[in-house]
Amino acid sequence: MAGVRRTWRGCRALLLAALFLCVPVQSDRDLRAEAGKAAAPKSAYVLKIPFGLEDVAGYIPADNPLTAEKVELGKLLFFDMRLSFNNTVSCGSCHLPHLAWTDGRQFGLGIHGQPASRNSQTIVNRVYSTEQLWDGKRPSLESQAKNPLTKPNRMGMPSAEALVAKLNAIPGYREWFQKVFGTDVTIDGVAKAIAAFERTILSGNSPADRYDMGGEENAISDSAKRGLALFQGKARCTRCHSGFNFSDEKFHNLGIDWDKDQVDVGRYLASKDPEDIGAFKTPTLREISLTAPYMHDGRFLTLKEVIDFYDKGGIQNPHLSNLIIPLNLTDQEKADLVEYMRSLNGEGLQMAPPVEFPR
């Protein structure tokens, strides 16, 4: 069983290797990574990749390389409430480090306590995805980062221009932007710095990684070992939660919402493809025991409830994925699956918010 994921990683590595050979941009990046190892340029950001994850080099966009100063600036912006209209909400209000960068609520709360329409997602391992959000509507972290700033039920700034003017009035931020981008504050700079910071928030080296790929026999319990076998076999979870980040990066309809009066059509909003009605992106399962409640509408409080939902075959609707079928799991099997998911918490994501912000 453990071999399944190893094989997949092998394929992925080969594919990436092939890319490095064929695409000049990629080989440049490779060279830069090599150069970085030999003599790190002054501001190069050296990212420690936890065991079990792929190197990030091939995933960093060429026009927004990681530098130490940019990542530091991005962290300040991420946690600074002054980026919201009334200085009460930051990105970090709905993405809290100690809850694996979620907020523990069914729906995130923006300025004036206005709820978002979906559950706040974790932002660990975002570096490995291009499409962001439950419906994948934002094609990059840079484009995603601009969105909450001016959304009325997130941070509520009237416009990007208003935010830029507000930040340019803070001398400390103007200095930071001059240092990092050689310009005053710009909205693209804000987005690039935040995205660079997000790309450094990783989760790997979990007990499951150490068992499955590290061969550390005692890293997880017997129940979790049985859970892993079920996850890859009878329970069919790897049909979608596949690879080192537990996501096929695709969109599927599980029927969440179809028992309510109003249905969120999800991916269809972005693609307008009828095949995508009610489909949502397969989320990573890393840190999953810390990110309750679950699903895009935050309906399940526990992992046990999630398993019961899959066991019944999701919720019937005309667009239900044909990968979702009743599973006939026993109570012990359900408990084993939960135990396995609890072994997916790792390292690379823990950090404290800044204590001081630019003045």
Binding residues for ligand HEC (CB under 6 A): 89, 91, 93-95, 108-110, 116, 118, 120-121, 123, 126, 132-135, 141, 144-145, 148-149, 154-155, 194, 198, 235-237, 239-241, 252, 254, 256, 280, 282-283, 285, 288, 291, 294-296, 303, 306, 310, 321, 323-324, 337
- Which of 91, 46, 41, 100 shows the shortest CA–CA distance to 71? 46
The residue among 66 and 89 lying less far from ligand HEC, judged by its C-beta, is 89
Smallest separation, CB 80 to ligand HEC (Å): 10
The residue among 26 and 291 lying less far from ligand HEC, judged by its C-beta, is 291
What six digits make up the tokens of 230?
């079920």
Alpha carbon distance 323, 277 (integer Å): 16
Q: Own/partner pairs for 93-98, CB < 8 Å, 24+ apart?
A: 94/120, 94/154, 95/120, 95/122, 95/123, 97/349, 97/350, 97/351, 97/352, 97/353, 98/350
Smallest separation, CB 244 to ligand HEC (Å): 16
Smallest separation, CB 87 to ligand HEC (Å): 13
The residue among 26 and 90 lying less far from ligand HEC, judged by its C-beta, is 90
Identify whether 24 is preceded by a cis peptide bond (ω within 30 of 0). Answer: no
Question: Residues near 332 by Cβ (< 8 Å), separated by ≥ 6?
Answer: none
The residue among 27 and 332 lying less far from ligand HEC, judged by its C-beta, is 332
Smallest separation, CB 52 to ligand HEC (Å): 18
Smallest separation, CB 283 to ligand HEC (Å): 4
The residue among 110 and 204 lying less far from ligand HEC, judged by its C-beta, is 110
Smallest separation, CB 150 to ligand HEC (Å): 10
Alpha carbon distance 175, 359 (integer Å): 10
Cβ atoms of 349 and 97 within 8 Å: the answer is yes
The residue among 185 and 237 lying less far from ligand HEC, judged by its C-beta, is 237
Cβ atoms of 166 and 82 within 8 Å: the answer is yes
